Amino acid sequence: MSNKRKSSRFDELIDAARNRQQRDIESGVEQLTRKTKSTDPDYIRTTLYLPKQLHRRLKILAASQERQMSDIVAELVEQWLQSENS
């Protein structure tokens, strides 16, 4: 009888990811990383409460224009701040 425990599929996937990462490092392959707002220090996460219908309309229009809702909200807040300072 073997004392070695059978590895789970999860363990196999983790090992494969580690092996690929190590292989890429050794071969000098630079991994392309897209900077996201969640990793960008110039951004901060906040929570807004919107009525459901307003959120739905915003989400639909943002998707149809291939824009992020946060970009639209930031643009509108910026416009509002500028109008308050005028």
List, for residues 13-27, the tens digit of each pLDDT value.
888 888 887 777 777
Could you say which DSSP state residue 29 is in? P
Q: Evaluate whether 74 touches 80 at the Cβ level (below 8 Å).
A: no
pTM (2 decimals)? 0.58
Q: pLDDT (tens digit, 9 = 90+) per residue, 64-73?
A: 999 999 999 9
SS3 content of the chain, % helix, strand, coil (to 5): 55, 0, 45
**CATH of the domain spanning 9-85:** 1.10.1220
Q: Which two tokens stand for residue 33?
A: 């990383």
75 pLDDT above the threshold of 90: yes
What is the H or E stretch that residue 36 is in? Answer: none
